[in-house]
A and B are shown apart, each in its own frame.
Chain A
Amino acid sequence: MFGWEFPPHNSGGLGVACKGVVDSLCSQGTAVTFVLPKKVVTEFSKNKVVFADNSQDLLNTKGVDVMLMPYITSESYEEELGKVGKKTKKKKRKKGEKRSLNYAGTLLGEVYRYGELAGDVAETEEHDIIHAHDWLSFEAGIAAKEVSGKPLVAHVHATEFDRSGERVNQDIYNIERRGMYMADRVVAVSNFTKNILINRYGVPEGKITVVHNGINENDYMSVLEDSPASVVSGLKSHGYKIVLFVGRITFQKGPDYFVKMAKKIREYEPNTFFVVCGSGDMEKQMIHEVAAARMSDRFIFAGFLRGESLNTVYKAADIYIMPSVSEPFGLTPLEAMIQDTPVLISHQTGVSEVVSHALKANFWDVDDMASKVISVLRNPSLQQCLKNNGRTEVSRMNWNLAGEKLLSLYKNLLARQL
């Protein structure tokens, strides 16, 4: 299995999803070799991630020395490279020559280099199935398939269209498209994503299997009593209402719609604070918009939070909003529901396919979103009802179902090979 992030050193949902997939496969008796960029592996073994006891032996991790990080962009790649000070040009490898230990110099080069190095892993590690998560590891998956000839599963957690809207990076799109074309089977995290793959990438419908993500409640149990996050709880105890946004502050997550909605809410419910957890390339723009709307005194930018701090903020919130423009799945509403917090999610999300006890709206319909949020703030009965039913619903959404679906997909692929 090829990936590029893993908890606890993940910056988004992908790492969490990879762990969920790996956990459920291992617990059902499948041995997994998880190949990651070295930096991620080192940190991850250093931190001794705990797996379910019975499955720990079944997971084996391999590090490949490349400079790839989750949600990396060309700019951030070059920045990171500058820090290491090893900038060299990628040279074409002559036959028999040892692979370059130097970094490629460009993000795309690095992705291809990860692919080449990963291909080597396939020579030494025994395996029946190759499973690659998202575009950064698709080249690695293809390389491995060339080496071993085993079936390749391309797992799509997000597409370039989700990340960038219509301004897609053609190189990344090409890698995604090639990965899905070369794969024997494509896994999409939702029907929402499946439709993008059909319409935008020309993947035949019959080649795609939808496997919705799950969530492990136990990963989210601890709450901090004393932390910066408790500032937010403090506001609540002073009688303020809290409306929460959690996610990278990027086009995909709809932060601008959140600000517009906040403006509407504030007119009707002046005692409301809007808390934003996350960072991203639209952060400055978002702060400017808040200032222009004269709401700086009502917005708290809490930065990137994880673990206990994030749980604490979820718990303090009156409602969690995910106004995503295009969200293949979207784990955060489930995290909020575990903390007994009602959620409002856009229809343009995969998670809205599996959650019933949530409010839903179109991300562009700022009036509808604001109206629903105000209804929750004003009606304790509505808040309570969403809380209770949401909590029950999310407790049934574990990863086992996803693991079972993947296993049967593997079995079909192997049967076809015989």
Chain B
Amino acid sequence: MASICFYFQVHQPFRIRKYGVFDVGNSDYFNDDSETDLNNCRILKKVASKCYLPANAVLKNVLETNPDFKASFSFSGVFLEQCAIYAPEVLESFSDLIKTGRVEVMSETYYHSLAALYSQKEFEKQVKLHSEAVKEIFNVSPTVFRNTELIYSNDIAREVQRMGFKAILAEGADHILEWRSPNFLYRPAEIDNLVLLLKNYRLSDDVAFRFGERSWKEYPLTAEKFAQWVSAYNGAGEIINLFMDYETFGEHQWEDTGIFEFMRHFPSEFLKHPDNNFVTPSEAVERYEVVGEIEAPNYVSWADVERDISAWRSNEIQHDALRCVYELERDVVELDDHEITHTWRKLQTSDHFYYMCTKWFQDGDVHKYFNPYDSPYEAFIAFSNVVNDLKLRIDKRKKEKKSLKRKGEGSLFREK
């Protein structure tokens, strides 16, 4: 028996517009209206027409023609929020898929943040906010958790178990698997009642990264060929976890690579073999036994060849930016102003720190490709100015609150 578990990540950050020192005070962080890739509305509409809408149409068709096809999604809250503003039709088309009952929605932090690394309280709060949003929009309650960029460690697993989830997703990185195969269910070290699903990165990346690469020796990857590769795991594994960004379809791999046709035909090719089937993460947990324990004392993620957190936190500006934003936690919570809290949390989205990565900046690699700023330094400058602006706003509101309180006390005194 070989089961495929598809999980697609859907996310768009609120990118910060070019925000100079002299902009501090105008407090407009996210509404770029230029023709650049910092214009959030423009990007969302572009990706909706290139990816979300056509890919959803393909999946709808696949679900209709293959009663055994299943898949799962995780939507960041900031993505859902931008859809509601700029492209509500995208939410509807996702809703259609979910209503089939064969598409599972997973849990994550609403703000697609790195809160798990910095604040337990904040992490929990954002997971709760996300569940509420998913319930409201799609009327489902997630039971399986995936953290931002599949960032995972023993500590994160413990926290997620405490919050009551039954499973968690992670990267099937060689350094945590060692000699073991990603194609079985595992348990996080010393934690009961939480199942670990690990990404098969070779097969996942064949689709997500190599699909359209003409220099790849397997090019072109047909649905038939890929179905054969996956079926070959029969007997040597129970569950093949194919985890990838949903933007693979039409955005990272353009339509002319044939990616939509591939996705339209792959499920029926795969199901030709009677032992093959599709599962959602929660079904996998019901169906298969845990075969071992995975130890992950350090963070693993699905990013870059290192598969660690260096994409978001390795140089001085990333450390500094993260420190600055999480230092505000106490003040923000104390102030308890909805607008300020929401803004502060939007600044926690992992993409802001990814844009500041300088690991291979001069080689023109993926970091450069996915960076809407001219350089990591420009990303930092915009971010630090925005954080300073937010600080000023917090201080101002604090003073206002204090003086209000004092006035209140004063009148009380007079009444006496």
Contacts and interface: CB of A to CB of B under 8 A. Distances in A.
B361 interface: yes
B22 to A, nearest CB: 6
Interface in B248-299: none
Interface stretch (B40-48, B174-182, B347-355, B374-382): B374-382
A374 B21 contact: yes
A371 interface: yes
A374 B317 CA distance: 15
Interface in B87-139: none
A368 interface: yes
Interface stretch (A323-331, A352-360, A398-406): A352-360
B20 A359 contact: no
Contacts of B22: 264, 367, 370-371
A385 B317 contact: yes
Interface string A42-82: 00000000000000000000000000000000000000000
A357 B358 contact: yes
Interface string A356-389: 1101100000011011101100110110111011
B362 interface: yes
Contacts of B315: 385, 388-389
A393 interface: yes
B20 A371 contact: yes
Contact of A385 (B362, B377, B378): B377
A360 B375 contact: yes
Q: Is the interface of B mostly helix, strand, loop or mixed?
A: helix
Nearest to B376: A385
Given A357-B358, A384-B316, A370 B21 contact: yes
Given A357-B361, A370-B21, A371-B381, A385 B375 contact: no
B262 to A, nearest CB: 36
Contacts of B320: 379, 381-382
Nearest to B319: A381
A368 B358 CA distance: 22
Contact of B375 (A356, A368, A375, A381): A356
B317 A375 contact: no
B148 interface: no
Interface in B7-38: 20-22
Contacts of A360: 374-375
B384 interface: yes
* Size class of the contact patch on chain B: 20 to 34
Contacts of B385: 371, 375
Contact of B317 (A356, A368, A382): A382
Contacts of A382: 316-317, 320, 377, 380-381, 384
A389 B361 contact: yes
* Size class of the contact patch on chain A: 20 to 34
A374 B375 CA distance: 17
A47 B99 CA distance: 85
A118 to B, nearest CB: 41
Contacts, number: 64
Given A381-B320, A385-B316, A375 B361 contact: no
Given A381-B317, A389-B361, A268 B377 contact: no
Contacts of B361: 356-357, 389
A382 B21 CA distance: 14
Contacts of B21: 268, 370-371, 374-375
Nearest to A389: B358
Nearest to B377: A359
A367 B380 CA distance: 17
Interface in A305-358: 356-357
Contact of B362 (A264, A356, A368, A372): A356
A368 B317 CA distance: 19
Contacts of B375: 356, 359-360
A381 B20 contact: no
Contacts of A374: 21
A368 B377 contact: no
Given A268-B21, A379-B320, A385 B358 contact: yes
Contacts of A372: 20, 381
Contacts of A370: 21-22
A323 B362 CA distance: 22
A318 B193 CA distance: 55
A357 B362 contact: yes
Contacts of A371: 20-22, 381, 385
Contacts of A381: 316-317, 319-321, 380
Nearest to B361: A356
B20 A367 contact: yes
A387 B21 CA distance: 21
Given A356-B361, A375-B381, A368 B20 contact: yes
Interface in A111-155: none
A372 B22 CA distance: 10
A393 B384 contact: no
B20 A386 contact: no
A393 B375 CA distance: 15
A386 to B, nearest CB: 6
Interface in A221-267: 264
Contacts of A368: 20
A15 B317 CA distance: 37
Nearest to B356: A385
Interface of A: 264, 268, 356-357, 359-360, 367-368, 370-372, 374-375, 378-379, 381-382, 384-386, 388-389, 393
11 contacts: A356-B361, A357-B358, A368-B20, A371-B22, A371-B381, A371-B385, A375-B21, A375-B384, A379-B320, A381-B317, A382-B384
Closest 8 CB pairs of A and B: A371-B20, A381-B320, A356-B362, A381-B316, A371-B21, A385-B316, A375-B381, A374-B21
Given A357-B377, A375-B380, 12 more contacts: A268-B21, A359-B375, A359-B378, A372-B20, A381-B317, A382-B316, A382-B320, A382-B380, A382-B381, A385-B316, A385-B317, A386-B377
